[in-house]
Amino acid sequence: MNEELERKISLYLDGELDEREAAEVERLLGSDAEARALAEGFRRVGEELRALDPSARVEASGGFFRSVLERARRREAAERAALRRLRYAAVAAAAAIAFLLAFFAGRGKGEAVRPSPPEVTFAMAFEFKAPGAEGWRPLPESPGRLAPGTVLVSRGVGLLKFADGSSVSAADGTVLLAGSSRVPDGFALLKGKLTVDVRGV
């Protein structure tokens, strides 16, 4: 039922319609059960209010219904906006907590677990290939002079080639330190000595 008919039924019950409009509403009430039920509801509400206050006048017009609906819509929109703000705040708080947990959980890891330096093993699997190879000779172990697994180039410049195919050039008087039959990354010539800088992996 439309608002205009509801308003006319209310005005009819209050006796505020002219004869033509009143006759039109009476025909509607005679033929439409929904209109009769609405008119009966208006009548009951009016009677109950008059019982409380005999001077009260009830007018349930379409404007009244519109204003009630508009207030309900505004209240619902405000509640939705508040829920949306609350949802955004909850997501931001969860993201901040996750960031802090990740930040503090990762802080101590580098300090708590330090990898031990790799174990350097020495092998004497050398193949001497250079001009005047007879000038290259492994020295026997001699405490206080050379560490085990070292080779001294006694004279000449040549190429010290290891069994696995890797090689290093050596000059006269250079002390070489070899690990696992290969010169790994981290070896460097310093003042006539090949030294190793052992770094954890």
Q: Where on the phi/psi map is residue 46: left (φ > 0), alpha (ψ -120 to 50), or beta?
A: alpha
87 and 27 assigned to the same domain: no
Same domain, 38 and 72: no
In a domain, 121, yes or no: no
Number of C-alpha atoms within 13 angstroms, CB side, residue 24? Answer: 11
Tell me, yes or no, whether 134 and 186 share the same domain.
yes
Do 135 and 166 belong to one domain? yes
Query: Are 135 and 159 found together in one domain?
Result: yes
pLDDT at residue 96 in the model: 92
On whether residue 201 sits in a domain, the answer given is: no
Task: Name which residue leads in pLDDT, 62 or 26.
Answer: 26
Please indicate, yes or no, if residue 118 is contained in any of the structural domains. Answer: no
Does residue 120 lie within any of the structural domains? no
Q: pTM for the full model? A: 0.28
Kindly indicate the confidence band of residue 30, based on its pLDDT and cuts at 50, 70 and 90. Answer: very high
- Is pLDDT above 50 for 91? yes
Q: Examine the domain organization and report whether 150 and 130 are in the same domain.
A: yes
Residues 55 and 70 in one domain: no
Q: Is residue 182 part of a domain?
A: yes
Question: Which residues span the domain enclosing 36?
Answer: 3-60
Q: How many domains does the chain have?
A: 3
State residue 178's pLDDT score.
Answer: 38
Q: Is residue 145 part of a domain?
A: yes
Of the residues 26, 41, 60, which one is the last residue of a structural domain?
Answer: 60
Instruction: Give the pLDDT of residue 61.
Output: 60
Residue 89 lies in a domain: yes
Taking residues 75-103, what's their average pLDDT? 91
Q: What is the pLDDT of residue 180?
A: 34
Residue 92's contacts (CB-CB under 8 Å, 6 or more residues apart) are: none
Residue 135 and residue 185 share a domain: yes
